[in-house]
Amino acid sequence: MTAPLCFVIACIDCAIIGLQGEGSMNRYRIYMPLRVKFMAVFFILITVPFVISGVFAYEKLSDNSERDASAYTLQLMGQVRLNLERYVKDMDRLTVSPLYDNSVLAILRSHNRPQGAPPYLNSDELLRMNQFLSAFTFDRAEIFNVVILANDGGLFSILETQTNRAWYSAENEWRERVLAQDGGLTVIPPHTPSYYAGPGRQMISFARVLREPGTKRMLGIIKVDMTKEGMESMIAMNNLSNNSHLFITDLQETPIYPFESGDPGVKDAMQEQFPPEQYLHMALDSEDANLRILGIIPYKELRKNADEIIRFLAIVSLIALGCAYVVALAAAGRLVKPIRHLQSKMKLLKQGSLQVQATVTSNDEIGQLAEVFNTMVVDLNQLVKEVYERKLREREAELAALQSQINPHFMYNTLEAINIRALQNRDVVLSSIVRSLAKLLRYTVDQQEKPVILRNELQFVEAYLDIQSFRLGEQLRSEMYVDPSFDYCLVPKLLLQPFVENVIEHAMDGEQPVTVTISASVEGDDLLIRVKDNGKGMDAGTLERLQASLARRRHSHGGEHFGSVVKGVALRNIHQRLQLLYGDGYGIHIQSAPQIGTAFQIKIPYSWEGEGQ
């Protein structure tokens, strides 16, 4: 155990003590004697096993407590689910009963009109409906009211004195939820019906659309309203602890119980009030009732028994700490000496002595650390030499680059002199060609390999076409259809000129004029640039070999340069250059046919100057 400790302490010593200097940052470092570090290490080695065993014991006890409490809570939630499923089945059966009563159907048919003015409900209709609906509440104290809502706005209720005689669909948003079930039973979350007289009161309801047997015409809606007290009496969850909570939602997580949980924003407040790291959340779904039951129990109640074990482990840890100090004091003297030696050598190295070597006195970790230090000094010497030599080479390269710039400037001045002489001789064509040649030279030298905007690249191609048109005359024509909105799109430098040169080298047969057409468009997040000619084209075999050449990989990738002859290899270079820059989804696509021409489509990402790359 001693050797690993020596290695750990040596690393700490090198990082904190051995490299301390006199800088402003070092004045604020905390100095710790090596003996103190050893005592801290032994303290950790003794204390950690007790802490780990205590944590495992605590976690085991907590898991058992949580498992028992979870099983008990799930049993209670299962009973609640059983009660809810039975109740929903009863409501499903009761709410279809109006369809089997001819007198009720006859009343609803007489009120099957669009809503308008409040309808008239005669006393005979009210009496018959009241007698029918009163049977719903027999031996069901949890039901507050049962209403049937006719299509014309008429309302029949067992609480005639507390409800209005008419209802309006626009004031009852829950109606859309019922219609969506198309005749199926719907559980409506807590809401405030508008048809009750007096102050509004929240209800949870079971409702369904009543459709006439045979014709399936909608005759109205039957709705069973239940108050908060009625819901609580039906659930009957009296066995949960005071700090535990029960929530009921539908399977779409719309809050149903408690009624307060249905208010806007309460769901988020519930998450804040019962954070998962402090409360155990359990869910139980009922597919039959389309409901979800959520039980919440605080972890604090589940872990009461673990406190005694933690107190016991704390006492044992204090005793182990005292033993750690005794062992650390006894071992510190023997372990400190080789580390101090290595520390002194490192200080010499810091002062600039690159020939220093540490004495290796053992084969343990400290000895290995000394050997590594000696190797590091040797490597450092070699690295210093390499850096020095690299600096010399970089200076030579800078001088060579400066010298290489003399030739382009000489060419600029020479071309400008020729341009002036051409203008003096009123040779406008020659002046134009000289200016275009100067543009080509300046563009290739100044921009280097960084991305350029599409407008500059097109101007470069135009200058190149001007020079070639002077040589070829009417045999070479050009057309550009590039929207000005693409002017500042970023493209690789010297992207288009090789394709134009390819037209001149391979598409012209000397008999018919050839037109080069350049266009651009956007497809999704990509920029598509097309270079098309109406030259002699390629047969199927040549096109297939060229496409196969594009697909082949090679070991070296060189960027295209102005003046290169674009054949199969060069096209492959351009294609692979684009794939290296942007990925395998980008590059060149070729279409060609004999005597029709060739079309190159260049696909690159659509990006703008100044946009993050």
**How far is 610 from 494, CA to CA, in rounded Å?**
20
The answer to whether the beta carbons of residues 292 and 248 sit under 8 Å apart is yes
The burial of 181, by beta-carbon neighbours within 10 Å (0-12 exposed, 13-18 middle, 19 or more buried), is given as middle
Q: Give the pLDDT confidence score for residue 30 in this predicted structure.
A: 63
Mean of the pLDDT values across residues 493-500?
Answer: 88
Contact 246, 237 (CB under 8 A): yes
The structure tokens 């000489």 sit at 410
Q: Could you tell me the domains of the chain?
A: 1-91+305-404 (no CATH), 92-298 (3.30.450.20), 447-605 (3.30.565.10)
d(C-alpha 278, C-alpha 424), whole Å: 91
Indicate the pTM of the whole model. Answer: 0.43
Q: Taking every pair of C-alpha atoms in the chain, what is the biggest distance, in angstroms? A: 117
C-alpha–C-alpha distance, residues 70 and 451, integer Å: 63
Structure tokens at 51: 């802490």
- The top-scoring range by mean pLDDT among 54-58, 202-206, 562-566 is 202-206
Cα–Cα dist 67/230, whole Å: 32
**CB neighbours of 154 closer than 8 A, spacing ≥ 6?**
111, 119, 121, 165, 166, 167
DSSP string of 424-485? HTT-HHHHHHHHHHHHHHHHHHHSTTS-EEHHHHHHHHHHHHHHHHHHHGGGEEEEEE--GG
pLDDT at 390 over 80: no
- What whole-number distance in Å separates Cα of residue 204 and Cα of residue 88? 13
In terms of phi and psi (left: phi > 0; alpha: psi -120 to 50; beta: otherwise), the region of 206 is beta
Q: pLDDT by residue (tens digit) across 81-110?
A: 888 888 888 888 888 989 888 999 999 998
Read off the tokens for 589: 């696509």
CA distance 571 to 70: 69
pLDDT digits (tens, 9 = 90+) for 359-381: 887 777 777 887 888 888 888 88
Tens of pLDDT, residues 456-468: 889 888 888 888 8
What contacts 24+ positions apart, CB below 8 Å, involve 296-300? 296/244, 296/245, 296/246, 296/247, 297/69, 297/70, 297/73, 297/241, 297/243, 297/244, 298/243, 298/244, 299/62, 299/66, 300/243
Tokens of 536: 């002699």
Which pLDDT belongs to residue 557? Answer: 43
H-helix segments, 215-305: 228-235, 266-273, 299-302
Q: Cα dist. 527→2, 524, 586 in Å?
A: 66, 8, 10
Q: For the chain, give me the number of helices (H) and strands (E)?
A: 16, 16
Bridge partners (DSSP) of residue 191 are: 203
What does the alpha-carbon distance between residue 256 and residue 287 come to, in Å, rounded to a whole number? 16
Confidence of residue 516 (pLDDT cuts 50, 70, 90): very high
Residue 76 half-sphere exposure toward CB, CA atoms < 13 A: 21
Quote the CA–CA distance of 313 and 394 in Å, as a whole number.
65
pLDDT above 50: residue 257: yes
User: Contact, 454 vs 488, CB < 8 A?
Assistant: yes
The Cα–Cα gap between 160 and 127 comes to 10
pLDDT recorded at residue 284 = 83
What is the pLDDT, as a whole number, of residue 371?
A: 82
317's tokens: 């840890």
* Mean pLDDT of the residues in the chain: 78
Residue pair 349/376 in contact (Cβ under 8 Å)? The answer is no
pLDDT in tens, 112-155: 888 877 888 888 888 898 889 888 888 788 888 899 999 888 89
At how many degrees (to 10) do helices 2-13 and 306-350 cross?
Answer: 60
Q: How far is CA 386 from the centre of its chain?
A: 45
Residue pair 598/532 in contact (Cβ under 8 Å)? The answer is yes
pLDDT of residue 599: 93
